[in-house]
Copies of this chain bind each other. A is one copy, B any other.
Amino acid sequence: MKLVFASNNQNKIAEIKQMLPKSIELLSLEDIGCTEDIPETSNTIEGNAIIKANYVSEKYGYPCFADDTGLEVETLKGEPGVFSARYAGEQKNADDNMNKLLFNLRDKSNRKAQFKTIIALNINNDQHLFEGIIKGEIISEKRGTKGFGYDPIFVPEGFSTTFAEMEMSEKAKLSHRGIATRKLISLLETL
């Protein structure tokens, strides 16, 4: 089955591809000739996942899933949340985003945070939303070079290493995106 992942983020595509059964041929936006930027105009994580999945299904007619992820920091009332990727501006630079977050948390003792991923899947005229959450905390300096986004400053509950210090396969087992992706795959296997 051909299935579009509404993304051109090669990190995400690689992370999900290794978890999918071989019967599914994963196509990126580039693979289907979708070169335009899909506007992510919602003020919720869920809303942006839906916008992207609907855009591809409606315009290109493929079954499609899209994800959106945010880092929700408790003492910042859920910020940066849906704005995580552009927290420090539209340049969407991970270092800038982390620096801004570390600055905003500089005098905070409550470092609790959670990553939340929502995957929206459009298939057979139905829509499925899968949630994946991992709780943890924001440390005060960057550690590790793997992963992407806020991974160097996020330590999941029960661990002492950051996501950026873990192998991709280890992170995939426990991450927010891993949880949501396994739910996605479970459903795909029943179809």
Compute how far the CA of A127 lies from the CA of B187 in the bound complex, rounded to whole angstroms.
Answer: 12
A105, CB-defined interface residue at 8 Å: no
Bitwise interface map of A from 103 to 125 toward B, beta carbon under 8 Å scored 1, else 0: 00000000000000000000011
Q: Using Cβ atoms and an 8 Å threshold, which residues of chain B touch A190? A: 186-187, 190
Q: What is the chain B residue whose CB lies nearest that of A129?
A: B127
- Whether B183 lies near A126 (C-beta < 8 A) is yes
A128, CB-defined interface residue at 8 Å: yes
Compute how far the CA of A161 lies from the CA of B189 in the bound complex, rounded to whole angstroms.
Answer: 38
Compute how far the CA of A129 lies from the CA of B190 in the bound complex, rounded to whole angstroms.
Answer: 16
| Protomer copies | 2
A55, CB-defined interface residue at 8 Å: no
- Whether B129 lies near A126 (C-beta < 8 A) is yes
Q: What is the chain B residue whose CB lies nearest that of A127?
A: B129
Interface residue total, chain A, C-beta cutoff 8 A: 13
User: A186-B190, A190-B186 given as contacts; is B128 within 8 A of A129 (CB)?
Assistant: yes
Q: Using Cβ atoms and an 8 Å threshold, which residues of chain B touch A62? A: none
Compute how far the CA of A126 lies from the CA of B161 in the bound complex, rounded to whole angstroms.
Answer: 29
CB-contact partner of A128 in B125, B128, B133, B186, under 8 A: B128
Bitwise interface map of A from 154 to 187 toward B, beta carbon under 8 Å scored 1, else 0: 0000000000000000000000000000010011
Q: Using Cβ atoms and an 8 Å threshold, which residues of chain B touch A133? A: 125
Q: Using Cβ atoms and an 8 Å threshold, which residues of chain B touch A186? A: 190
A131, CB-defined interface residue at 8 Å: yes
Separation in Å of the A140 CB from the closest CB of chain B?
31
Compute how far the CA of A133 lies from the CA of B125 in the bound complex, rounded to whole angstroms.
Answer: 10
Within 8 A of B (CB), among A32-78: none
Separation in Å of the A61 CB from the closest CB of chain B?
16
Q: When A and B form their complex, which 9 residue pairs have the shortest distance between CB atoms, in order from nearest?
A: A127-B129, A125-B131, A190-B190, A128-B128, A126-B130, A126-B131, A126-B129, A126-B183, A126-B128
